[in-house]
Amino acid sequence: MTHVTLGGGGTAPPSALVSRPSPDLRPPASVTPRLDHEQIRDRIAQHRACLAELEGALVAACEAAAARHRASAVRVEDRATWDRPMWQRYLDAATVLEPEYGPRMRDLLRDIDRLERLLALPAACGRIAG
């Protein structure tokens, strides 16, 4: 069966144009996909390290903002000495910086959660049903 085009010529039917995966592109039947615990744990560790780096940068930026205009008795490294205005500057900085740090930190936390759930799957110990 041919289909008539606007130019008047015929083409092959649409089903003949749809490509089907070649049997050579399928994984061999003897290969069973497995979850690699070490790769998943490494990825979790990478995400945790990145999250810790972002948290450290956020805290440092908030502390720097809080330290501006501080009283002489206040020591940045000792939060017990912080007064109310210093805490307010810290919180104000955190609010301003949230759009810069928050989305990436939430993405990392979400990814860590997903990877940890993947490790907990019963299939993670053996073969994946396919």
* Structural domain contains residue 129: no
Tell me how far CA of residue 53 lies from CA of 57, 63, 83, 101, 120, in angstroms: 6, 15, 27, 11, 26
Among residues 39, 42, 40, which one has the least CA distance to residue 50? 42
pLDDT at 74: 76
Domain count, the chain: 1
φ/ψ of residue 127, rounded to 5: -85, 150
What is the extent of the structural domain holding 91? 35-121
pLDDT one-digit tens code per residue, 60-106: 999 999 998 877 777 888 888 888 999 999 999 999 999 999 999 99
Is pTM beyond 0.75 here? no
CA distance 106 to 31: 36
Q: In the chain, where does DSSP find H-type helix?
A: 14-17, 37-67, 84-120
- Confidence grade of residue 9 (pLDDT, cut at 50, 70, 90): low
* Structural domain contains residue 130: no
